[in-house]
Amino acid sequence: MAPRMSRREFVGRVARTVGAWGLGSWYGLRSTTPAASAPVKGYLSPHRARFFRALPGRRVKCLLCPRQCEVGDRERGYCGVRENRGGTYYSLVYGNPCVIHNDPIEKKPILHALPGSKTLTLATAGCNLNCKYCQNWEFSQSRPEDTVNHALTPEQAVAAAKNGGLTFIAFDYTEPVVFYEYVYDTARLAREKGLRTVMASACYIRPIPLKMLCPYLDVLKVDLKGFTETFYWEICRGQLAPVLEAAQLAQEEGVWVELVHLIVPTLNDDLNRIWQMCRWIVSHLGPDVPLTFSRFYPMYQLRNLPPTPLSTLERAKQVAEEVGLRFVYLGNVPAASTGRNTYCPRCGKLLIQRIVYEVKQNRLRNGRCPACKTPIPGVWE
């Protein structure tokens, strides 16, 4: 097993690896440019988008997400990272991540997929939602010319992950849907090279693009923001129905799906609504889908609300378990909390002990409880 690297050591290795490949000359940068992966303000070469339709008058209609923006020449869609140039739609963030992290997979949070694995996590500017409590709003609500970006092609990302001895390439922090082409090409190449992939997403995406991506995704973490159309529109500027459809579709296509529901005091903490949400999950995705109730902290445009009381999370967990969900977790909670541990749903034995993002014990044997041999659904090998 390769020795663990700190985040600083990992980013340094990525920079040295990418710099050795001469990205600067690939993008036409001057030879005097420092290491090609060094961060620069703004984006580099536009990349043709995959899902759009040309309209009269050099307009285009985006077919990637449910917004289906109609965009005039030299204008951008709602996400701010796709631009119409003369009747052709382009992504402005392809190969230009503003975030490159070495993360444990538990940070996504993904709790039923190769516990303790390390991920090369990538994110670009932009989002097709506008959640008032966004934790990464500095990136997600910015345009690519306003963020400090790296030049990192899919080939270089995959090579860096392999060189670093990592298991997954993850797309997280902002919204992977808006950098779809980069996700697709990177995930496809990662699959060819024996790497796993995980996408942490609000899943505000149309069915065809998602279905095309699913063969190259191992894990999908769905941020289920709320369970009413009113909440989605007023707090996130989106719709609920396409998200539910996307979660079902991904599972049908063989992707391992996990859910996260961030509970915001006074806005989506009604236990009756949480009960309805959990009933829907059991009925449409099954009782074995892991669900994490995550704690809200004042952020972005919702700084006037208090953090979610731990008691609210615990009551939501109790409701979910009473409805029939077998793997319910708590996120953004104190290290002493046992809410991130995995227990056997049959005999109650502790299977995986976690403290924050660190796996302290993993007693699973071939994906089963060692005591009663009950199979535990997930990606374990």
Does position 214 have pLDDT exceeding 70, yes or no? yes
Q: Are 364 and 353 in contact (CB under 8 A)?
A: no
Average pLDDT over residues 248-258: 98
Q: Which helix (H) or strand (E) holds 120?
A: strand 118-123
pLDDT at 37: 56
2: exposed, middle or buried (C-beta count within 10 Å: 0-12, 13-18, 19+)?
exposed
**16: number of Cβ within 10 Å:** 13
Does position 18 have pLDDT exceeding 50, yes or no? no
CA pair distance 154, 93, nearest whole angstrom: 12
Average pLDDT over residues 16-38: 33
CA pair distance 157, 179, nearest whole angstrom: 15
Does position 139 have pLDDT exceeding 80, yes or no? yes
CA pair distance 215, 171, nearest whole angstrom: 16
pLDDT at 39: 77
CA pair distance 351, 371, nearest whole angstrom: 10
174 vs 136, 137, 261, CA distance in Å? 7, 8, 16
CA pair distance 135, 301, nearest whole angstrom: 10
| Least confidently predicted of 58-67, 92-101, 159-168, 332-341 | 332-341
CA pair distance 279, 277, nearest whole angstrom: 5
Residue-range domains of the chain with CATH: 99-338 (3.20.20.70), 341-381 (no CATH)
Q: How confident is residue 44, by pLDDT bands cut at 50, 70 and 90?
A: confident
Q: 149: which 2 tokens? A: 């970006």
77 vs 63, 65, 88, 290, CA distance in Å? 11, 11, 13, 34
CA pair distance 196, 367, nearest whole angstrom: 18
Q: Which helix (H) or strand (E) holds 71?
A: strand 70-71
Q: How confident is residue 38, by pLDDT bands cut at 50, 70 and 90?
A: low
Which has more confidence, 120 or 29?
120
Sheet hosting strand 88-91, strand order edge to edge? 47-48, 88-91, 82-85
Q: Are 175 and 128 in contact (CB under 8 A)?
A: yes
pLDDT at 85: 97
pLDDT at 80: 97
- Count, residues in the chain: 381
Computed over its alpha carbons, how large is the radius of gyration of the chain?
21
CA pair distance 163, 182, nearest whole angstrom: 20
Does position 300 have pLDDT exceeding 80, yes or no? yes
